[in-house]
Amino acid sequence: MDLSTLRDRIDHVDRQIIALLAERLRIVEDVALAKLDAASPFRDREREERLLLRLREHATEVGIDPHQVERLYRVIMDMSVAHQEKTVRNRPDAPLRVVYQGVEGSYSHLTAQRRYGGRQGGALLSGFDTFRAAADAVIHGGADLALLPIENTTAGSINEVYDLLADGKLHITGEVVSSIEHCLLALPGVALDELRVVISHPQALAQCHVFFAQHPDLTPQPELDTAGSARRVAQSGDRTLAAIASAAAAKTYGLEIVAQGIQSASGNATRFVEIGLRPAPVADDARAKTSLMLSLADRPGALGEVLMRFAAHGLSLTKLESRPIPHAPFTYRFYADVLGHTATADFQSALDEIRPLTTELHVLGTYAADPATP
Sheet holding 183-186, edge to edge: 219-222, 197-200, 241-245, 183-186, 256-260
C-alpha to C-alpha distance for 353 and 349, rounded to whole angstroms: 6
C-alpha to C-alpha distance for 142 and 160, rounded to whole angstroms: 21
Specify whether 272 is catalytic. Answer: yes
Report DSSP letters for 94-130, one per residue.
PPEEEEEES-TTSHHHHHHHHHHTT-TT-EEEEEESS
C-alpha to C-alpha distance for 343 and 184, rounded to whole angstroms: 46
Q: Which residues 6+ apart lie within 8 Å of 327 measured at CB?
A: none
Backbone angles phi, psi at 20, to 5 degrees: -70, -35
Residue type at position 192: L
The CA dihedral of 355, 361, 363, 369, to the nearest 10 degrees, is: -80
Helix (H, G, I), strand (E, B) or coil at 8: helix
Backbone angles phi, psi at 96, to 5 degrees: -85, 130
The phi-psi region of residue 175 (left if phi > 0; otherwise alpha if psi is between -120 and 50; otherwise beta) is: beta
Q: Which of 128, 212, 272, 347 is catalytic?
A: 272
| 339: Cα within 13 Å, side-chain hemisphere | 12
C-alpha to C-alpha distance for 231 and 241, rounded to whole angstroms: 11
Q: Which of 252, 270, 342, 366 is catalytic?
A: 270
Backbone angles phi, psi at 99, to 5 degrees: -120, 160
208-210-213 Cα angle (round to 5): 115
Q: Which residues are catalytic, by number?
A: 270, 272
